[in-house]
Amino acid sequence: MNGRGRSRSVPPFSCRLVIMVKEPHAGRVKTRLARQIGVVQATAFYRHAASAVIRRLAASSRWQTWLATAPDATIASRFWPHHLPRRAQGTGDLGARMQRIMDWPGRGPVMVIGTDIPAITPSHIAEAFRALARGRTVLGPTPDGGYWLVGLARSPRIERPFANVRWSSEYALADTEANVAGLAIAHAANLSDVDSADEWRVVHNWSGRLVLPARELD
């Protein structure tokens, strides 16, 4: 295994879910949110939400869960569950780092998500993998024009799906869809991320829970 952690034995064509994570140091995560609610609360939110999302999704045997860590030097951090395989994200913008993940060795479909969507459930991921089985790519939109999930079938290889995408803008989803125009594109659930104080107030009471309130499972 290339990376830290102990990998479960899985078939070579198994589905792989990669969660992009940052070590939760104050001032390095959720910086936009921190400007509104303070560094301490923003860091605590990220720490609890990320931990819950990782544990919730890694518990499923329907896919193999990997972590893509940042900064690279934190690959051995105690914050990451010791049993999960992981690799460093590497350098570059979000598109370069996601492309690097899609180019990791191994066969089969790969799904990439972040930890900014505290309402993600295993059902959302399973639905996205089912959609990907019927096409070449799947995207999970967010209300602000971005996306929380991207999955590629990877065979045959899709060239430059993340080229010239205007990240952190309302054009991110549209730019990515333009890059894969002509391929079968499916969409996963539309979920909201948490970048503002108003969004944080809606989720902060339950965002660190392993089991979500019933209203968040609809």
pTM: 0.90
pLDDT at residue 3 in the model: 45
> Would the pLDDT of 169 be above 80?
yes
Residue pLDDT, tens place only, 72-131: 999 999 999 999 999 999 999 999 999 999 999 888 899 999 998 999 999 999 999 999
**Bridge partners for 67 per DSSP:** 19, 86
For the chain, the maximum distance between any two Cα atoms, rounded to a whole number of angstroms, is: 46
Q: What percent of the chain has pLDDT over 90?
A: 74
Average model confidence (pLDDT) for the chain?
Answer: 89
Q: Map out the domains of the chain with their CATH numbers.
A: 21-203 (3.90.550.10)
CA-CA distance, 158 to 142, in Å (whole number)? 23
| Strands lying side by side in the sheet with 110-113 | 86-88, 64-70, 16-22, 110-113, 147-152, 137-141, 185-187
Query: pLDDT tens for residues 34-89?
Result: 999 999 999 999 999 999 999 999 999 999 999 999 999 999 999 999 999 999 99
Percent of the chain surpassing pLDDT 70: 92
- Taking only Cα atoms into account, the Rg of the chain, rounded to an integer number of angstroms, comes to 16
Q: How confident is the model at residue 216 (pLDDT cuts 50, 70, 90)?
A: low
